[in-house]
């Protein structure tokens, strides 16, 4: 088991590093092609932080490990809200603007319910997967239009940050292409290492790859979101921290599972419907209550509530570990 564990560690390290390289190369190319910093931030950076989940789940489906693909996507969503938002709130209470409660969160909840409809019958067909990808394109188009409609506002913090980063670390078009292709290749290679290690450990322990995907792999592929959200919270940019999580969960629920399903239609483990989806939905609903403004004050996720989210994640993880031990 030592070698598979080593491959997981190496795979995770290279996966996060290569995602960074891929994002920088893609952002630079987008800049050369004339995309605005706002669009680069929303599309390129948003895609980049979810690239680990996408590559791992796609490769898992390709190699015939659907449980790992599903566990990675749903586990990452649970990790994003309970672990990452909980940890960020402990560092700095997260201000939740009313617009997020009125627009982005309802969209995320609607997508979460839609996802249940796709897997409730215990089967994710290729047609179901194509429908998820179509909905993803529609949601992304709506979000981009929403962003562009506010382009003139001075609150485009992410766009400004992307522009400043590019000016501080300029690169030629050739270099950006090399970083893009190199980052993508490393993403695939590191994903293969991670998937092989995860499947090997699951087989050695006699547990499903779903549980491994929900725990080790989900945490590992969520590291980019954790790093970017903590950095945003330290700068007081709470919109970035929360928006990053909402965008990532939308991406995981629709694009990651959709692509995996197109590659390989799969049977849905009953645990997804009975255990993991309900927790994911409950955590999504909790964001409404945590972020709802009271008595005219701005909504916020305070440190106590962040601690509660972390406790929920710890309890869920312990429960999964107990299922492994008792198996």
CATH of the domain at 112: 1.20.1420.30
User: In order along the chain (327 residues), what is the average pLDDT of each group of 10 residues?
Assistant: 86 81 76 66 66 87 87 93 91 76 85 92 92 93 71 47 59 84 84 83 81 86 78 67 82 93 91 93 90 68 92 94 70
The number of distinct structural domains making up the chain is 1
Q: How many CB atoms are closer than 10 A to CB 182?
A: 14
Q: Which two tokens stand for residue 23?
A: 């994002």
Per-residue pLDDT, 290:
81
Per-residue pLDDT, 152:
43
Burial level of 167, CB count in 10 A (0-12/13-18/19+)? exposed
Burial level of 39, CB count in 10 A (0-12/13-18/19+)? middle
**pTM (two decimals):** 0.82
Per-residue pLDDT, 166:
55
Per-residue pLDDT, 279:
96
Per-residue pLDDT, 169:
63
Query: CA Rg, the chain, in Å?
Result: 19
Per-residue pLDDT, 88:
87
Per-residue pLDDT, 39:
60
Domain limits for position 42: 2-326
Nearest to 188 by CA among 21, 2, 3: 21
Task: Spell out a b/e string for 184-221, using b for 16 or more CB atoms within 10 Å of the CB, else e.
Answer: bebbeebbbbbbbbbbbbbeeeebbbbbbbbbbbbbbb
């Amino acid at each position: 088991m030592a070698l598979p564990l080593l491959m997981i560690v190496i795979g995770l390290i290279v996966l996060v590093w290569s995602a960074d390289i891929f994002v920088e190369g893609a952002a630079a190319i987008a800049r050369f092609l004339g995309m605005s910093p706002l669009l680069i931030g929303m599309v390129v950076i948003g895609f980049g932080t979810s690239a680990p989940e996408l590559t791992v789940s796609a490769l898992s489906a390709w190699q015939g490990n659907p449980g790992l693909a599903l566990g990675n996507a749903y586990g990452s969503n649970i990790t994003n809200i309970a672990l990452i938002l909980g940890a960020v709130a402990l560092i700095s209470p997260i201000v939740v603007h009313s617009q997020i409660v009125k627009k982005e969160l309802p969209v995320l909840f609607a997508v979460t319910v839609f996802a249940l409809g796709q897997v409730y019958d215990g089967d994710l067909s290729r047609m179901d997967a194509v429908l998820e990808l179509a909905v993803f394109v529609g949601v992304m188009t709506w979000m981009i239009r929403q962003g562009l409609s506010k382009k003139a506002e001075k609150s485009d913090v992410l766009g400004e940050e992307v522009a400043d980063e590019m000016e501080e670390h300029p690169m030629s078009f050739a270099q950006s292409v090399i970083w893009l292709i190199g980052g993508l290749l490393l993403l695939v290679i590191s994903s293969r290492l991670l998937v092989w290690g995860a499947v090997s450990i699951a087989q050695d322990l006699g547990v499903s790859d779903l549980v491994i995907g929900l725990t080790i792999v989900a945490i590992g592929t969520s590291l980019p979101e954790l790093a970017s959200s903590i950095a945003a919270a330290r700068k007081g940019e709470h919109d970035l921290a929360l928006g990053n999580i909402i965008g990532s969960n939308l991406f995981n629920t629709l694009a990651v599972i959709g692509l995996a399903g197109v590659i390989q239609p799969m049977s849905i483990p009953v645990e997804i419907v009975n255990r993991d989806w309900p927790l994911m939905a409950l955590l999504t609903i909790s964001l409404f209550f945590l972020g709802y403004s009271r008595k005219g004050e701005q909504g916020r996720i305070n440190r106590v509530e962040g601690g509660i989210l972390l406790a929920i994640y710890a309890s869920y993880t312990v429960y999964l570990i107990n299922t492994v031990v008792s198996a």
